[in-house]
Amino acid sequence: MLKACLNGTRRRGEHPAVPLTPVELAADAVRCASTGVAAVHVHPRDDSGAESLDPAVVAAAVSAIRDARPGLPVGVSTGAWIVPDPAARVAAVRAWTVLPDFASVNAHEPGAAEVAAALHERGVMVEAGLWTPASVGAWRRWSAPTGRILVECMAERVETALADAAAILAALPGGHPPVLLHGEGPATWPVYAEAVRRGLHTRIGLEDTLLLPDGAQTPDNATLVTAARTHPTPH
């Protein structure tokens, strides 16, 4: 499964094609879906461009994508940088009026288990974000079921990112949920290739990289997806 991560924390100044508004997210999701992605992951923004878990903001982004591309699974982030207070993150999830299909929860963040439980109570599939081998233990203490594990290699140095991927994967228990492996920055494409080699789910998009496999800046998300599908083991 290839997922498109459309915007993340990026600002327009980092790339002119970063989609921020519901209309832009929807149009980008349609373009990426037409190139073959199976799902999209987005960070909804308020009118000021700031990431938000506010019910109206999440509803606008998720609804716009669903209206433009019915049946395309849509996921959002619940990162602690969006709403630092764990209780407020839980309250936001419980107040959502339009539910995404899935939502990521970083296991190392304060309140992660409670946020995951709130998502599960609402019927939203939980993706557990694991950044380090130590976070595997934190995730295993959750009470909420996990639908997918995100092995997220945050190191920019390629050798470090690949070593982190191997260590996290080795720490996972037997019978674990499906895994999506991805990197960021300079490690994006090498980790993508490792995910393909291992037969794991993966993702690509402006959230993770602004560059194509040859080092040229991508014009948009759809071009990144096309490159991923055309060059399944880039270097």
Report the domain count for the chain.
1
Q: Is 133 exposed, middle or buried (0-12, 13-18, 19+ CB in 10 A)?
A: middle
- 50-94 residue pLDDT tens: 999 999 999 999 999 999 999 999 999 999 999 999 999 999 999
Q: Is residue 55 part of a domain?
A: yes
- Model pLDDT, residue 232: 55
Q: Is residue 198 part of a domain?
A: yes
Q: Is residue 162 part of a domain?
A: yes
- pLDDT of 234 > 50? The answer is no
Dist. CA 6–CA 16, nearest whole Å = 13
- 127-170 residue pLDDT tens: 999 999 999 999 999 999 999 999 999 999 999 999 999 999 99
Q: Is residue 76 part of a domain?
A: yes
- pLDDT of 227 > 50? The answer is yes
- 186-201 residue pLDDT tens: 999 999 999 999 999 9
- Residue span of the structural domain in which 94 resides: 2-228
Could you tell me the CATH number of the domain that includes residue 67?
A: 3.20.20.70
Beta partners for residue 5, in sequence order = 41
- 100-128 residue pLDDT tens: 999 999 999 999 999 999 999 999 999 99
Tokens of 211: 């560059």
- 29-39 residue pLDDT tens: 999 999 999 99
Q: Is residue 44 part of a domain?
A: yes
Q: Is residue 235 part of a domain?
A: no
**What letter represents residue 174's amino acid?**
G
Element spanning 23, H or E: helix 22-34
Q: Is residue 206 part of a domain?
A: yes
Place of tokens 């982190």: 164
Query: pTM, whole model, 2 decimals?
Result: 0.96
Coil, strand or helix at 4: strand
Q: Is residue 138 part of a domain?
A: yes
When the pLDDT of each residue in the chain is averaged and rounded to a whole number, the result is 96
- Model pLDDT, residue 235: 41
Angle subtended at Cα 190 by Cα 188 and Cα 192, rounded to the nearest 5 degrees: 65
